[in-house]
Structure formats: C-alpha cells, structure tokens
Structure 1
Amino acid sequence: MPPVAASAAPPFGRVSFPRTALVLMRLAWARTGSPLLMLGVVALLCLPVLFALMFASRGALSGDPIDFLLARYDTIVAGLATPLIALLLGTSAFSAEADDGTLLYLVTTTTPRWWIVMARLLFASLLTGVLTSLSVFASGFVAVGLSDPEGIVTAYTVAVFYGGVTYAALFTMLALLTRRSLVVGLLYVLFWEGALSDTFQAIRYLSVRQWMNAVAEPMIAGAGDGVGPSATYALVGAAVVVALTVYVGGRRLHEPRMGRIGS
C-alpha cells in the first residue's frame, strides 16, 4: 500500500496584521473605556459647544462670528480639548496593560513589537481625531449654522484631526518612556503648549498646537501672516513624530524591564 502523503503543516507564526490590529484596538478600548475617562472626554468635547450656544443665544450682540470661532478653536479645541483627549487615550491603554501584565503577554507573542505600538497609535489617533473634529463641526453649526464664514469650520475640522494624530503619537511615545506619562503630559500641555509657545517665537516650530494653526491657515480665506511654521513644516513634523513613536516604541518593548511603562 503506498504511503499516504502528509498534509502540509499549518503556517504557525504567520501574523495577520489587519486582524491583529483589530484585536489590539479592541483590547485598547477595553482598557480605556472606563466611565470616569469617558466622562472627562465628553466634558472636553462639550465645552466648545457650550460656548457656541452662549454665542448664538446673544444674537447680534455676540459680535463677529469669525473672531469668535478663531478664538475658541485656537484656545479651547486646539489648545485644550485635543491635547487632553489625546493624552488620556494615548497613555491609558499601555498604563493599564503594564499594570495587569497584559503587555508582557503581548510582547511574547509573534506580533511584531512595532505593530503593537502602531495599533495603539491608530486607536488613540483615530478616536481623538474623529471626536475633536465632530466637536469643531458641532460648535460651528450651533454658532453660525451651515454658513461656515471664511471656511473656518472646515479648516479647523481638518486641523484638529491632524492634531489628534500628532498628539496621540507624542503621548503614546511618552507612555512607553516613563511611568509618569500623565503628569509629564499635563505639564507639557499647560506650560510648553500654553504659556511658552505663546511667549517665545522659536518654540512655535516645536509646538503641535501651532502646527494645527499652520495646517488650518491655508484653508481660511484671507488668513496667513507668515509668522510661525508653515503647513508643509507641520506635516513633515507630524510624520517625524509618528515614525519616531513607532521606532522608539518597538525598541522599548524589546526591553525586559516592562515596569517602567505606565502612568
């Protein structure tokens, strides 16, 4: 009797990157979807809408809608809501997984370390970008309806999505480098992005908030004073931050001392 041909062995160890990304993003959601964190995110998103309601309720007494939108989008959305939401989403998943041992299990699987970082970055950046963009559109609709004077609402909808991706990359890298990422991130938002970037001209070239304004300016009619970084500079800077996060994160997860990762 002729020998029966052995069936081909299943390709153990082969990684399905899309499927793995979905699993990692669901795991990140399970680690970040706490009621307290979601309450903070919702409060930050509702803040510009509340200001828009106050503006709309006063009618003609409120003043120029262009000045109102520019001021609120710059200070509240770009300067407060976007970085804080990205900070909460970018640091919480790695912090929780480092504390309960899930991260140590993930790095022992066949999933490449850099892909683990990339999946976390996709989760935090997409969620931050989508939520803040919706907040910009909702507040603009409440304040001026669908008129969109000078294209401000459209410009900042795009700009805060870009800012959400950039901030999420920055804070994801921060979560991998220090156990005090939440504190360090808050100090960065309040002092570097807030006080220092408004005071010192040179710091604008290293400020994600100023990069967001640079991305928005070309889409706003009549805007652009030539001061600070250009949109091209901002896009290149964001690409560098994302690439550095993936590289540093992949190297960081190769180290055995996982206890340094977290909040």
Structure 2
Amino acid sequence: MSVTTAPAGRGAMKPQATGPRLYHPTVARLTYRALLGRRRALLLFLLPLLLLVIVSAVRALAGADDTTANDVLQGFALSAMVPLVGVIAGTGAIGPEIDDGAIVYLLAKPIRRSTIIFTKLLVAVGVTMAFSAIPTLLAGYILNGNGQNIAVAFAIGAAVASIAYAAIFLLLGVLTRHAVVVGLVYALVWEGVVGNVVPGARTLSVQQWALAVAQKLAHGDVVSSNVGLTTSIVLLAAVTAAATWFAGRKLRSLKLAGDE
C-alpha cells in the first residue's frame, strides 16, 4: 500500500469531511503516541539532558556569569537543540505515516485534511516546546539564576522558535521522504553556521528572529540580535502560516493508492 501525489480531480477519493475544523483529538492522540515512541522519545530526552549536563559543568567551572549564560544558551540551546528537537517532532508528526503508507487509513476518514495538518502542527509545537523551552529555562537558572532575565528571555525565544520550526519541518515531512536528512542539513548548516556567520542570511534565520524576542525581554545589552523585533515577529508569523497552509495544500493533493 502506498500514497501517491496527484492533482485532486474527479477520480480522487474525497470522503466528506466532518468533525472539528481545526483540531481532532483522535489525530492528536495518535500523533502523540507516534512522537513519544521509544526511539524518538530517547532522542527527545537526550538533547535536553545534554544541555543540562553542559550548563552544570559550565556553572561549576566558571561560576554565575551573564555573558557566559548568553553564549551557552545561544550557542547550544537556541542554535542547536531547539532546531534539532523541531526536526524530530515536526517530521515525526507525519513523515513516517506517509513513508509506510499508514496515512491512507487517516485520509480515508471523514476528516478535513487541513484539520489533520493543524492538529499535527499543534502536537509538534507542544512537543518541541516541552523538550526545548522548558530545558532552556532550567539551563538559564542553572547558569546565572536568571540574572538579567536571561533564562526567561531565552526560554520564551525558544518557545517562539518552536512554533516556526515545527511548521517548517512538518511541511518537509509532507514534501519529501528524506525530511529528516533535509531538516538536519537545514538545522545544522543554515541555522547553526550560515545564519550566524553570513550577514545577509541572518535575516532569514529563525534563530535570529527568536533572539530578537529574547533581546526585548532580557535586561541590559547582553542578548543581541541582527534582526529587528518587528521584522522578526512578522517573519515568524508569515513563515509559520505559509508552511502550515502549504502543508495542508500538499496533503490535499495526496490520493490513496494500494496494491490489492
């Protein structure tokens, strides 16, 4: 059994959609179960645990310092951990179902495909926030006891970034069977390297948009971003909305096909 992409037409299977328009509890429950399975749960717990081990070692060696806290939270939490958790949650929310053909059972139900996408996005956002924003907050308190409001600022920045990352990687899960590989390249190369080094690319970096939010919330000038706050908020909203809309559109173009 497989799923193929084709323009919706008279021959496409179109079960009449019923039920909630934006959120479907059964879809959410199945998505949570898939994301928190043994393998993905291990990866989701491993990244925050690594962050907490690192910040504990840094605090023991360097003591409480605002600049150190900013460097660690930006250099590891926001530029590496948050996008990687987003890759796991965003692609895992729908990609495996499409790859193994299990999505056909869901698409055959009378549920709007936009509802499926939005429900899976909410689950992916919730999981990404839980495994990135909360550990970032704890890490900030360990590093400097929330001095200059850095812990709270980076935690909210991580939560904001979680929304955009979940939408981007959910879209990748619909577009390609290699969503994890593409997502890892994006997270590690673009967000981790290019977005920090190349001046022109910083404007198109989710990390920099999240940093603008953190900069607004932090006290003093310890936290800084290369993108203005208004621009960052507009781009975060636009990217999230566009990725969600396009994912729904691509899912609507899927038709069921199977080997008898």
Between 1:124-133 and 1:203-212, the stretch displaced more is 124-133
Higher relative contact order (CA 8 A, sep 6+): 2
Q: Determine the C-alpha separation between the residues in 1 that align with 2:143 and 2:190.
A: 30
Structure 2: 5+ residue runs without aligned partners? 1-15
Greater fraction helix: 1
Letter in 2 for 1:204: R
Q: Determine the C-alpha separation between the residues in 1 that align with 2:182 and 2:54.
A: 29
Q: Determine the C-alpha separation between the residues in 2 that align with 1:127 and 1:87.
A: 11
Retained in 2: the 8 A contact 1:65–1:144?
Answer: yes
Q: Determine the C-alpha separation between the residues in 1 that align with 2:108 and 2:232.
A: 36
- Paired position in structure 1 for 2:43: 40
Letter in 1 for 2:59: A
Aligned length: 242
- Paired position in structure 1 for 2:195: 197
- Paired position in structure 2 for 1:252: 250
Shift of 1:204: 0.7
Query: With structure 2 as the length reference, what TM-score do the two structures score?
Result: 0.85
Q: Determine the C-alpha separation between the residues in 2 that align with 1:234 and 1:123.
A: 24
Q: Determine the C-alpha separation between the residues in 2 that align with 1:118 and 1:223.
A: 37
> Alignment partner for residue 171 of structure 1, among 153, 169, 172?
169
Shift of 1:225: 8.6
Q: Determine the C-alpha separation between the residues in 2 that align with 1:241 and 1:234.
A: 10
Letter in 2 for 1:237: L
Structure 1: 5+ residue runs without aligned partners? 1-11
- Paired position in structure 2 for 1:3: none
- Paired position in structure 2 for 1:15: 19
Shift of 1:14: 3.7
- Paired position in structure 2 for 1:55: 58
Say what the alpha-carbon RMSD is for the aligned residues. 2.2
Letter in 2 for 1:56: R
Q: Determine the C-alpha separation between the residues in 1 that align with 2:17 and 2:217.
A: 47
Corresponding residue SS for 1:253 = helix
> Alignment partner for residue 147 of structure 2, among 146, 149, 154?
149
Shift of 1:108: 2.7
Corresponding residue SS for 2:70 = helix
Query: With structure 1 as the length reference, what TM-score do the two structures score?
Result: 0.85
Shift of 1:257: 5.4
Q: Determine the C-alpha separation between the residues in 1 that align with 2:138 and 2:222.
A: 25
- Paired position in structure 1 for 2:29: 26
Corresponding residue SS for 1:179 = coil
Change (3 A) 1:253 1:181: same
Q: Determine the C-alpha separation between the residues in 2 that align with 1:120 and 1:206.
A: 25
> How much identity, in percent, do the aligned residues show?
26
